[in-house]
Structure 1
Amino acid sequence: MRLDDVLLFVRAAELGSLSAAARLLDLSPAVASAALKRLEAQLGARLLARSTRNLRLTADGEGFLGHARAALASLEEGQRLLAQGQDQVSGVLQLSAPSDFGRNVLLPWLDELQREHPQLSVRLLLGDRNADLFRQAADVAVRYGAPEDSSLVALPICSDNRRVLCASPAYLARHGEPREVAHLAQHNCLLYQLGSRVHDHWCFGQGSSEVGLTVRGDRFCDDADVVRRWALAGQGIAYKSWLDVAMDIQEGRLKLLLGHLPGEPAPFNLMCTHRAQLGKPVQLLRNMLRVRCQALLEQRARAV
């Protein structure tokens, strides 16, 4: 028994007209008439008594109408429940993220995500060393820069992100504000260290206009969040990813320095070992990150 035939019968009974039901369902009169005849033949009963002007339910039609309505309503409810289940996100999202971005930017975003999807669990690993996704208990990682391992799949989150110079108003009140790159030699620069490499050569501009300077400072750390905390405490000037410090600059805790100069590129990517890991929780995370990070990036132009 074809469901569209049953639906046509129900609509015709409700409207009192086979032609009106055909128009509602975008059928031609001939197709509607054939559908009704097919349903009556399958049931072995006349459902509608009809003439050129009138249509009424037969006794068999009245008896079948309640069952037909109940069947259609049951199917609609099944569709609704199925769609609702597809909208729900459940399972465990296993994620690795940089220390500063993870603690100070990502955490509240993940809280919102879990409030919207209460069946979703999050396992968050924080650290600045590149996560070994083949060994760690993380399905995906968000990281700055291109992946060192060419076997990883890298999906762009914020390709135009760059580093920026920043310092607290308290530090600048004591030591003054650098007006050009060379002035950084006179300041305490807060240095980030990844493994054995200290990031002490800061570059600005691009192409033939690029300017670089080897800086010095009295503080080094392999945790980018600590470098940010030192900057907030007024201990020196930091060279940070814009995504890490956008909210601090917007709210006045840090001040953007030499904002007219583009800093080093710091593209932000979501990485995984295989596209098969891009299930619904990961897709939801990626979409959220792209929208939120793009909003932070748009603040950069207004901050100059």
Structure 2
Amino acid sequence: MQINDLHLFVRVADCGSIAAAAVELDISAAAASAALKRLEKQLNSLLFIRTTRSLRLTAEGEHYLIHCREALAQLQLGQQALLTEKGKISGQLNISVSSDFGRNVFLPWLDNFLLQYPDLTIQLHIGDNLSHFQHDKIDMALRYGVPPDSSQVAFNICHTQRVLCASSAYIQHHGEPKSPAELAQHNCLIYKVDERNYDLWTLINEQQSFKIRVSGDRSSNDADVTRRWAVSGQGIVFKSALDVVDDLNSGRLQQILVGYTSEAMPLNLICAGRQHVSPAMLLMRDKLRQHCQQLQQAVAI
């Protein structure tokens, strides 16, 4: 049984088309069709039902696809393990990163990481909605919070808190709130996901917690945009401390209502399943943990 035939079978199943899979793998449609027939003959099973207009997996094909994916993933892990033992990290990682963390923390760090491991290539997807691993061909995602799918594997990078920030220009012009309740009188910059406004801010201190409904003259589905608005003096933002470390250290933003934060929230590196974990991914996890720890030590929250 040829490994290339197994790769082809998986790609045809994902693409829903022999011709499309052939283009991806840079082979002719005739060669792809012949390879599928060869695989079906070896398995003595029909993997696809073909018509002139469509192609779909049989029940046997769906069952075999699960095992085929696992087998190919294990072979890739074995190859990566051998390279790691030789001191070489290579291959490609498709990474999805949230907009704010991605642009302001991950991108500067990634340049140095790739200098250390030049045989590794990265495809970077930046956005705040969690990508669909299989459809978007994502290997790993960096996101705040608990993964919505319990079957996914989440490696914790660190825990952080949200802090209230504004520019000195905004504070000079509008004053600084002295209590959480006074946030309702200020222009708050609101982040939204799937058209849902996150305008109910929960603040905690040593004694109690407060839920404050805030409002403002602008909102965005890109979390980094709200940070940029805050830096330009447009209002108050409630951000992960990691995402605003540089702004706080440089003075572009100032923490307000010091002593009030959010509950600790995890930053996780998420992948679709244990079988998808590679040595390159584990290396990135460990290096990111070190980097985020250094960032948190750089500013006292």
After superposition, where does 1:192-231 map in structure 2 within 5 Å?
A: 192-205=191-204, 209-231=208-230
Letter in 2 for 1:149: D
Could you say if the C-alpha distance between residues 113 and 170 of structure 1 is closer, same or farther in structure 2, counting changes exceeding 3 Å?
Answer: same
1:281 aligns to 2:280 (yes or no): yes
- TM-superposed CA distance for 1:260, in Å, is 0.9
Question: Which residue does the alignment assign to 1:240?
Answer: 239
Question: Which residue does the alignment assign to 2:156?
Answer: 156
TM-score, reference length from structure 1: 0.69
CA–CA separation in structure 2 for the residues paired with 1:274 and 1:185? 43
Question: Which residue does the alignment assign to 1:98?
Answer: 98
- TM-superposed CA distance for 1:278, in Å, is 2.1
Letter in 2 for 1:299: A
* Contact 2:160 2:240 survives alignment (8 Å): yes
Letter in 2 for 1:225: D
- TM-superposed CA distance for 1:183, in Å, is 1.4
Give the secondary-structure state (helix, strand or coil) at the position aligned to 1:87: coil
CA–CA separation in structure 1 for the residues paired with 2:84 and 2:90? 12
Question: Which residue does the alignment assign to 2:112?
Answer: 112
- TM-superposed CA distance for 1:221, in Å, is 0.4
Letter in 2 for 1:253: R
Give the secondary-structure state (helix, strand or coil) at the position aligned to 1:250: helix
- TM-superposed CA distance for 1:154, in Å, is 1.0
Could you say if the C-alpha distance between residues 95 and 84 of structure 1 is closer, same or farther in structure 2, counting changes exceeding 3 Å?
Answer: closer
Structure 1 residue runs without a partner (length 5+): 1-81
- TM-superposed CA distance for 1:207, in Å, is 9.1
Could you say if the C-alpha distance between residues 138 and 177 of structure 1 is closer, same or farther in structure 2, counting changes exceeding 3 Å?
Answer: same
Give the secondary-structure state (helix, strand or coil) at the position aligned to 2:150: coil
- TM-superposed CA distance for 1:83, in Å, is 8.9
Q: Which has the larger radius of gyration?
A: 1
Question: Which residue does the alignment assign to 1:259?
Answer: 258
After superposition, where does 1:3-82 map in structure 2 within 5 Å?
A: none
Letter in 1 for 2:115: R
Question: Which residue does the alignment assign to 2:40?
Answer: none
Higher mean alpha-carbon deviation, 176-185 vs 84-93, is at 84-93
Give the secondary-structure state (helix, strand or coil) at the position aligned to 2:118: coil
CA–CA separation in structure 1 for the residues paired with 2:223 and 2:239? 8
Question: Which residue does the alignment assign to 1:146?
Answer: 146
- TM-superposed CA distance for 1:263, in Å, is 1.6
Question: Which residue does the alignment assign to 1:190?
Answer: 189
Give the secondary-structure state (helix, strand or coil) at the position aligned to 1:267: strand
1:129 aligns to 2:122 (yes or no): no
* Contact 2:190 2:218 survives alignment (8 Å): yes
- TM-superposed CA distance for 1:259, in Å, is 2.1
Structure 2 residue runs without a partner (length 5+): 1-81
**Number of aligned positions between the proteins:** 220
CA–CA separation in structure 2 for the residues paired with 1:84 and 1:90? 9
* Contact 2:202 2:262 survives alignment (8 Å): yes
Give the secondary-structure state (helix, strand or coil) at the position aligned to 2:191: strand
- TM-superposed CA distance for 1:222, in Å, is 0.5
Question: Which residue does the alignment assign to 1:272?
Answer: 271
- TM-superposed CA distance for 1:170, in Å, is 1.1
CA–CA separation in structure 2 for the residues paired with 1:144 and 1:161? 9
- TM-superposed CA distance for 1:122, in Å, is 0.6
Q: What percent identity do the matched residue pairs reach?
A: 45
**Residues 137-184 of structure 1: CA distance to partner in whole angstroms, max 9, x if unpaired?**
2100010100111111111111x3111100111111111111211111
CA–CA separation in structure 2 for the residues paired with 1:146 and 1:206? 23
TM-score, reference length from structure 2: 0.69
Give the secondary-structure state (helix, strand or coil) at the position aligned to 2:165: strand
Could you say if the C-alpha distance between residues 299 and 212 of structure 1 is closer, same or farther in structure 2, counting changes exceeding 3 Å?
Answer: farther
